[in-house]
Each structure stands twice: as structure tokens, then as C-alpha cells.
Amino acid sequence: MTNHWIDIKNSNVIIIMGGNAAEAHPVGFGWVTEAMQHNNAKLVVVDPRFTRSAAVADYYAPLRSGTDIAFLLGVIRYLIETKQVNYDYVKAYTNAGYIVREDFSFNEGLFSGFNEETDSYDKESWYYELDEEGHAKIDPGFENPRCVWNLMKQHVDRYDFETVSNITGTPIADYEVVCQQIGSTHTHDRAATFMYALGWTHHTKGAQNIRSMAMVQLLLGNIGVLGGGVNALRGHSNVQGATDMGLLCQSLPGYLKLPSDKDTDLKTYLKHNTPIALRPDQTNYWQNYPKFFISQMKSYWGDNATAANDFGYDWVPKWDKQYDFTKHLDMAYHGEVNGYIIQGVNAINSMPNRNKVLKALSNLKYMVVLDALATETATFWQNADGFNEVNPAEIMTEVFRLPTTCFAEEEGSIVNSGRWMQWHWKGANPPGEAKPDAEILSGVLMEMRKLYKQEGGKLPEPLNAISWDYHNPLAPHAEEVARELNGKDLLTNRQISSFAELKDDGSTASACWIYAGSWTEEGNLMARRDNHDPSGKGVTPGWAFAWPANRRVLYNRASCDLNGKPWDPKRTIVEWVDGKWHGIDVGDFNMKLTPQQSAGPFIMQPEGVGRFFALKLLAEGPFPEHYEPMESPIGVNPLHKVTSNPAVRMLPGVKETLGSHKDFPYVATTYCVTEHFNFWSTHARLAAISMPETFVEMDEMLAAEKGIANGDWVTVSSKRGSIQTKALVTKRLQPLKVNGQLVHTIGLPRHGSHNALTRKSYSCNVLTTEVGDANTQVPEFKAFLVNIAKAEGI
């Protein structure tokens, strides 16, 4: 979230799209109803299903799953055409006036630079025109036909109401109301917030779904203001923290990059990752990248990181390809992987295409599972008729199942959607011999060090050099690690209080620069529990610590005009009064600068402004474009000949696992029910009693056509497999008219388990496809094709 949960109460219009907060984030949703009751806010819900969020909405519009970009580009067209644009904001704080290179183009569904042989883009032309000094050229009057504003206008011009409705299936009357509601927040005194979750990320163009919305928010001047923002409702309790910790195949903590083969040495790596300002006098905060990285290396390797050895740069593994879950499991499927350490992930139920995952795990020589619960993953080698059909004697994988503590039995910090790092305390000992993950990994590492010492082996240096100087190397304390995450001045041995103190000469250490300030000489700021809200705007600076710098609303410089005057005096976050900045929140800029000096509010961008045109950052283009899901129920893209996202990664053999709408005519989408958190709460008795099984949700017309009654057993099949379950026939799903045909959608809850306290049930990943978003590789769990039939003989 750019903002935070409580801030939703400051919104005037709340759009829930790509999520279902009432059901999946019910307590956070309390701030939506608060805004409706006390701020006269309107709630708009756009979803293929009439969800529990929709049930309390002022306006609901259905759309076909996988068509959000068409929906939102149509909103952009409407806003521009009806002049419901916050022009002051757009002119001052976005790249609308920036001039794009002459060789950039978009024709028939493809941007310039597409290579049909490699199915990827040469992105050279997706950039600004630069002047002699290397600065981007601007036309402040938006008259140049090559400026972003005019290119964007031209790009969205195709998305008129009829075209949008034809693609999305949203009735025009419903669509118009949603457009009007969103448009009403273009004035300075109104703000809209968008709340989204996996409903937007689980697509082959998930990142572009979110970008389309961010473009809408920029047009309306809704970013950096109270009640506005781009608000991802994250999933697991510490998924934000896991991402902050860089537990991804190309990341390091604090959104630094894991080096690749192209970063042949430290100097080259830093050059590739340290941007040069694209406009004069910009903060360009990533110019500090070397300070963050060198301080991180000092944290990793301690005294073993010196200027002479490039601070241990060579010990950091380099990537040549993106080895995300899907790619690496595909390698395991092909026998190229020997081992897996699986920590708190029920892979066999959550990774796409279960049958393939089962084969991949069966190919492993060893697997080490760290979990608090007995998951289906650890017992993938056990037969469960109908749910996991295997012959254990044929599976040669050695499996270790190691018990871990759960939240109640350990201390540490977790980060919520609003970036609040909240410290928690231990309330009991774990059952039996369970241990925290940190102790288990330390135990393994210390044994490995012993073995390398005894018998030698390949490259023992990083293993020995990694700093593990905890009071007990077999059991690092959360406090010690939290202090390490914050970082210290190595000359004085004092905890630093801000990332501004970090140096690139090896004299400071900080594992994760964005966490600097969380554990200072004052102590553990994450443990603070002062809920005082002095401004009444929901900003509670004394409750825990919000990264970065205890800032509660990101980009808040954009809440003021160029002279530091709030656009809306009722929504003041910061303001320039009597030659000084004042505010209820920590400014997202250098508060020693004048308003004019700090006028680029998007300080992480080298040009300091928000981007309608994303330059080279995304795989499939600098503007979003509607492409059909990989499995499309209409089989064509009504706009042009490019049916699905042209830049997706298609691993060899995966194309054959995709079904056609002729054999699998119905769209399937997955979702969560409020009683369950995937296959985790299914082990908690109360949750298991309140929602004891799974089902497939379908509309009445489809049920009638197929002769299926509520509660009947049905078979749902995709090109990848089939499951049997009960039908739930509802009015919440309705067929939509798309491109001249009726499209039915069926819904599959994600909580199916066969080894929990709930009734034995299918897991919906039997059906899902592994093709993922072209940037993030998040699998397309929200739009794939199935068939459905009444099951006989059950």
C-alpha cells in the first residue's frame, strides 16, 4: 500500500477491483464501511462474481475475468474525453508532457521492437527524447504529438464504451456509472482509493492491470494524498516482509537486485543499478544505491567484506535466468533438480498444475520440509485415493519433516499491507521439539561448516564468511537480527537512525536499508504501542514503525502544489508555512529543501514524476494493452490479431497443456472464502467446522443447461486434469455477453485439502495453468478454461 488501512476512512470513492476485501480482509474492510458511514463515501465493486464486498456496495459492475485492462483503459479514455482530469497535478507531477522517441510505435497489438522469433521485445525505442545533457525533453503545453499525453490519448482512443463492453461483458449502463464515480474524484477536494489483491496479480498481464489503475490515479491526482493511493491488500501476514527480505529469485533485501551474469564485477553491477537523473535537480533517490548495497554486504559478510575483495561481491550468486517456482519446478519435472528446502509452503496444493508438481517432487532425491503443520506437500509420497494417487514404493525421494514454531511461540516483526513493522511477543513454548526456522537453518549451516572443515569441498568461503556472530550461532535471537536489519555505524558501533547515514565505503552496515530507523539507539521502535492519532486523520506515528522512515503515506509531497500549499486544506499531510515544512506525517522528500527544490514527488524515479509511459520497465509495453487470457473463452482478441500477451514466457511443452474454448468453454476463476486462509486454517477446528468442504460455484442458467442441481456432484475438467466436487448454484454468478456470445464463469475456492480437519477435498490447482505474468511469472489462477458435467455414480 502507498497508504495504509486506517487511511481508507479518508476516501470519497472506494473501488474494489481484483479483490474481495469484505471476505478476504474482513477487518481491514471495516475502514471501508467507516468511510461510507462517516465520510459519505461511495463503494464501487467490479468483479466477475457478486461478492460479499459487492453485497454492501453502492454500485456493482460485473466483468469477465481477465479483461480489467480494457475496463480501465476505457475509464482513462472517458476521463480525458470528459475532461475529468486533475490538470494541475498531471502537469506538475507526471510525465504527460515528456517527449517520446520518434521510433516508438504501436501497431495492431504490438509495440515497436517485437521479435517474433524470440517472442520478446527490444525495448530501445520505449524511451524519452533526450537533450545534449541527457535530460528528457518536455513540452509543458502537451502540443507535441509525440508527448506522452498525446500518445496515451491516441492509445486509449480505441476503448470506447461499446468496445469495452464487448470485451468485458460489462453492461454499458453499469460501466458508465463506475466511470462517473471514479471521475468525480478529479477535483482537489475528493480522493479515490483502489483496493486490489490476487484478483489482479493472478493473470498473464497482472502487472499491467495494476499499472492501468495507477494511471487512472495519476490522472485524478489521487496518489500521495490522504484517502488515495495504490493499495495492494497483500496476502499472508508477512508477505510484505518476505518481499522486503528479498526472498525471491532475483532480489536482495530492500528491493536491491541480485546480480546477474551481466554484472561481471562490483563496479559494473553498481553502474547498472544506479540511475542518472533524467531531469535537472532531481532527488533521484536510487543514486544512493551503492551506499545501500555496500552496507548490505557489510551486514552479510561482516569483517570479511573489505574494499580489497569488493566487499564480498563474488560470493553473491549471480543469475542467468529467472528461477521462480514455476521455472524451477519445470526443471525438477525434467529431472534437473536434486533437492528442495520447502519452508512454510504447501507447494503441492498451491503451485499450478498439480499433476506436474507431483511428478516434479517425485523426481527429487531429497526434500526438507520446515512447517508448523502436517501439510500435503511433506506427504506427497503417500497415497490418498482420488486426491493423490501414487505408489510410495516407486518414489525414491528422501524426505525430512521438521516442526517449526508458529506466530504465538516466537517473537519478531511482521509487516502488514500498510508497511507497518509490528513486533510481536512469544506467548508459549512450541509443541514437542519444534524450533523457529532461524534455529533450524543455523543447525544445518553449522553442520555444513563442520563438513567443509573436515573434508574440504567446493567454494567453502561464502559459507564460512557469512556473518553468524550471534550470541548463540545455533539460535539467533530475533532482537539481534532486528538490530542487524536496521544497521549500525561500524566506527562508533551505534545503531543508525536513518538510511541517510549509510556510506559506500564499508564504514556502515545495514541489512535492509528501508528498515533503517526501526531499531535505533532509542530501542525497538517496532514494539511501540501508542495508538494516539493527533490529527484525527488516522496517522498514528507512535504505533510500531512504518518503513521507510516511519512514513505513513508515500509520495506525500504530491499532496501539495509546487509552492508547498496543500491541494485540499482538509487533507493536509505536509505543508510549507513560514519558510518551513510542517506536517502530520514524515515527508517523503528532504524536508530541508524548499517547495520548489522538492517539487519532484516521485523521488525514486530519476525524473521525479509519475509515469503514464513506463519506459522499459515492463515486458509487454510502456502502455497497458488488452490481451486475452492464455485460455480465452472467445478465442480471439476483438481489438487486433494479437490474442494473448505476446511477451509471456512459454516453457517448452507448456503450450500443449493449454486448452481451447471449443473443448473447455467455461471461464474458471479461483477465490478465497472468509472462513479459510487457503489450506492453513483447514487445520484449525473452528474454521474447519464453519466451512468443512469445497465446492464449485456456477450460475443458474449453466446449471439448468447441464442438468445440475444445487448440491449435485460434478466433474470439472481442464486440459491439465479433473476434479470431483459439489455444485453450488447461485445468482452471484451471471453469464455475460461477450463478443456476440454468452460466457459463463465458474468459481473454485482455494481451500481444498485432503489431509486436514476439513472433509477430504480436491485442490483446485489440479486444473490451473502454469503460464504466468510476463514480468512476475505469477500464474494465471484467475482466468483459465474448464468444462463441467454432472458426475455419475457418486
Partner 1 sequence: MNRRQFFKLCAAGAATSAISALGLMSEKAYAAVREFKLISAKETRNNCCYCSVGCGLLMYSKGSNGKNAEQTIFHIEGDADHPVNRGALCPKGAGLVDYVNSPNRLKYPEYRAPGSNEWTRISWDDAFQRIARLLKNDRDANLIEKNSAGTTVNRWLSTGMMTSSAMPNEGGYITQKFARALGLVAIDTIARN
Of residues 130, 276, 307, 446, which one binds partner 1 by CB under 8 A?
A: 446
* Footprint on residues 526-565 left by partner 1 (CB under 8 A): 529, 531, 533, 538, 540, 543
491 is an interface residue for partner 1 by CB under 8 A: no
434 is an interface residue for partner 1 by CB under 8 A: yes
196 is an interface residue for partner 1 by CB under 8 A: no
User: At a CB cut-off of 8 Å and minimum separation 6, what does 632 contact?
Assistant: 66, 643, 644, 661, 785
Of residues 56, 80, 177, 248, which one binds partner 1 by CB under 8 A?
A: 248
Of residues 18, 253, 564, 735, which one binds partner 1 by CB under 8 A?
A: 253
Of residues 104, 315, 499, 555, which one binds partner 1 by CB under 8 A?
A: 315
- Within 10 angstroms of residue 684's Cβ, the number of other Cβ atoms is 17
Helix (H) or strand (E) holding 21: helix 21-24
* Footprint on residues 341-400 left by partner 1 (CB under 8 A): 341-345, 347, 350-352, 365-366, 368, 370-374, 381-382, 392-400
462 is an interface residue for partner 1 by CB under 8 A: yes
Nearest to 161 by CA among 49, 220, 76: 76
* Distance separating alpha carbons of residues 45 and 19, to the nearest angstrom: 9
Nearest to 436 by CA among 371, 481, 484, 483: 371
55 is an interface residue for partner 1 by CB under 8 A: no
* Footprint on residues 24-43 left by partner 1 (CB under 8 A): 24-28, 30-31
Least Å from the CB of residue 615 to partner 1: 24
x/- binding map, residues 295-314, to partner 1, per CB under 8 A? Answer: -----x-------------x
513 is an interface residue for partner 1 by CB under 8 A: no
User: At a CB cut-off of 8 Å and minimum separation 6, what does 372 contact?
Assistant: 344, 403, 404, 405, 406, 434
Of residues 309, 507, 674, 715, which one binds partner 1 by CB under 8 A?
A: 674
What Å distances lie between residue 550 and 333, 422, 515, 547, 588, CA to CA? 45, 12, 9, 5, 10
246 is an interface residue for partner 1 by CB under 8 A: yes
- The CA-to-CA distance between both ends of the chain, in Å, stands at 47
* Footprint on residues 562-581 left by partner 1 (CB under 8 A): none
Of residues 481, 490, 593, 701, which one binds partner 1 by CB under 8 A?
A: 481
* Distance separating alpha carbons of residues 343 and 403, to the nearest angstrom: 10
Compute and round to an integer the Cα radius of gyration of the chain: 26
Least Å from the CB of residue 481 to partner 1: 4
Between 230 and 438, name the residue whose CB sits nearer to partner 1. 438
Nearest to 285 by CA among 743, 605, 754: 605
Least Å from the CB of residue 717 to partner 1: 22
511 is an interface residue for partner 1 by CB under 8 A: yes
C-alpha cell at 495: 545503531
618 is an interface residue for partner 1 by CB under 8 A: no
Nearest to 241 by CA among 415, 426, 24, 21: 415
* Distance separating alpha carbons of residues 301 and 55, to the nearest angstrom: 54
* Footprint on residues 136-165 left by partner 1 (CB under 8 A): none
Between 341 and 651, name the residue whose CB sits nearer to partner 1. 341
Total of chain residues touching partner 1, rule CB under 8 A: 167
Between 214 and 332, name the residue whose CB sits nearer to partner 1. 332
State the chain's maximal CA–CA distance in angstroms: 81
Instruction: Using the rule CB under 8 A, give the single segment among 71-79, 175-183, 429-437, 622-630 that binds partner 1.
Output: 429-437
Least Å from the CB of residue 221 to partner 1: 26
Least Å from the CB of residue 689 to partner 1: 9
* Distance separating alpha carbons of residues 648 and 206, to the nearest angstrom: 11
* Distance separating alpha carbons of residues 777 and 654, to the nearest angstrom: 14
Of residues 109, 113, 275, 443, which one binds partner 1 by CB under 8 A?
A: 443
Dihedral of CA 497/503/507/513: which sign?
positive
Dihedral of CA 717/718/720/726: which sign?
negative
Instruction: Using the rule CB under 8 A, give the single segment among 41-49, 148-156, 214-222, 324-332 that binds partner 1.
Output: 324-332
667 is an interface residue for partner 1 by CB under 8 A: no
Between 248 and 593, name the residue whose CB sits nearer to partner 1. 248
User: At a CB cut-off of 8 Å and minimum separation 6, what does 464 contact?
Assistant: 449, 452
218 is an interface residue for partner 1 by CB under 8 A: no
Least Å from the CB of residue 240 to partner 1: 6
Between 246 and 624, name the residue whose CB sits nearer to partner 1. 246
146 burial (CB, 10 Å; 0-12 / 13-18 / 19+) is middle
625 is an interface residue for partner 1 by CB under 8 A: no
Between 166 and 510, name the residue whose CB sits nearer to partner 1. 510
